[in-house]
Amino acid sequence: MVPFYEQKKELLQTGTGNHMEFPLHLHLALELLYVIEGEINAKIGSSEYSVHSGELALMFPNTVHDYSTVSKREDTEFIMVIASPLLAGDFKNTLLCAHPVYPIISSNAIHQDAVYAIKALLADKSGNNELSKLFIQLILTRVMPHLKLESNQNLSPHDLTAQVISYISEHFSEPLSLEILSKKFGASRYQISRIFSKTIDVKYYDYINTLRINYAKSLLQNTDQDILSIGFDCGFENQQTFNRVFKVHCNVSPKRYRKIIDNTLK
């Protein structure tokens, strides 16, 4: 099954359910799967796991993963949390630069503070990003001691996809052409391009622009930074390009987007 890049637009998404069949995908977000009842199979990276009642699976940003439910619907309940690294505070760089060797927290090891925070994120409908940050950081504070982390630089040299995506997640706001990546990884431009067109099923520059626009939206929503500097900080060379790409993705200009957000919050 071919993975695809799932474009997450919100800083936080939560949900609950009793059945899940989801294809291979990846995104620039932390994903948490807490199984209340039942059993769900999860492929995370190149390994497969069974997640049972009371266990928590963690998918760090840009980790390919999928799900399939093993138990019957009536015997299954889970909570899903998908959080931007922007909510992770001091844990942000760790999420982007490393991955857990074994990404499952057992029911015996998971701290009740983490369970409480997961359920609180599901219940909270306020859209308060500061509150979401507190809960996400509480979860990470409680689970990180149970995870053995490995630098993304230690990935298999054959895992070019993971290496390229990890690098882009840290450098998307910088000049980042196919030629630059080709020199960085000692691969041809064709090889790099195929990662996106064949493996992730998205064009390279669409992938880069999606990351940049999502970051721009976050800055427009959560800061008073002027629009010109936001465009530059997100990697756009000039205001015209920023406005054009933003409008393609959001159907409005950055200025209009900020005004809509401001009016919504009033």
Q: What is the pLDDT of residue 67?
A: 85
Q: What is the pLDDT of residue 28?
A: 76
Q: What is the pLDDT of residue 27?
A: 74
Q: Flag whether pLDDT at 96 surpasses 70.
A: yes
- DSSP-derived letter for residue 158 is T
Dihedral sign (CA 25, 99, 144, 30): negative
Nearest to 5 by CA among 165, 160, 163, 164: 165
pLDDT tens-digit readout, 132-172: 999 999 999 999 999 999 987 655 544 677 678 778 877 88
Q: What is the pLDDT of residue 200?
A: 62
Q: Flag whether pLDDT at 103 surpasses 70.
A: yes
Q: What is the pLDDT of residue 7?
A: 43
Mean pLDDT of 2-18: 66
Q: What is the pLDDT of residue 4?
A: 34
Contact 217, 261 (CB under 8 A): no
249: CB partners within 8 A, 6+ apart: 209, 210, 213
- What mean pLDDT value characterizes the chain? 87
Alpha-carbon torsion angle 146, 148, 149, 153, nearest 10:
-170
pLDDT tens-digit readout, 41-91: 998 877 889 999 999 999 998 787 878 889 998 899 999 999 999 999 999
Q: CA–CA separation, 102 vs 247, rounded Å?
A: 41
Q: Flag whether pLDDT at 130 surpasses 90.
A: yes
Q: CA–CA separation, 110 vs 155, rounded Å?
A: 27
11: CB partners within 8 A, 6+ apart: 83, 84, 86, 87, 129, 132, 218
Would you state the structure tokens that stand for residue 78, as one six-digit string? 């889970």
**Over the range 7-17, which residues count as b (16 or more CB within 10 Å of their CB) and which as e?**
ebeebbebeee
Mean pLDDT of 248-256: 94
Q: What is the pLDDT of residue 265?
A: 62
State the amino acid at position 10 in one-letter form. Answer: E
Mean pLDDT of 127-132: 92
Long-range contacts of 130-139 (CB under 8 A, 24+ apart): 132/11, 132/12, 132/83, 132/87, 133/87, 133/88, 133/89, 136/12, 136/30, 136/81, 136/83, 136/87, 136/88, 136/89, 137/87, 137/88, 137/89, 137/90, 137/91, 138/113, 138/114, 139/32, 139/113, 139/114
Mean pLDDT of 237-266: 90
Q: CA–CA separation, 105 vs 58, rounded Å?
A: 8
**DSSP assignment of 193-236:** HHIIIIIS-S-HHHHHHHHHHHHHHHHHHH----HHHHHHHTT-
Q: Flag whether pLDDT at 126 surpasses 70.
A: yes
Mean pLDDT of 98-112: 96
* Residue 48 CB-density burial (10 A; 0-12 exposed, 13-18 middle, 19+ buried): exposed
Q: Flag whether pLDDT at 6 surpasses 50.
A: no
State what percent of residues in the chain have pLDDT above 90: 58
Mean pLDDT of 111-115: 98
Q: Domains in the chain, please, with CATH?
A: 4-151 (2.60.120.280), 155-265 (1.10.10.60)
Give the residues across from 5 on adjacent strands.
26
In what helix (H) or strand (E) does residue 78 lie, and over which residues does it extend?
A: strand 77-83
pLDDT tens-digit readout, 169-201: 778 899 999 999 999 999 999 999 988 887 666
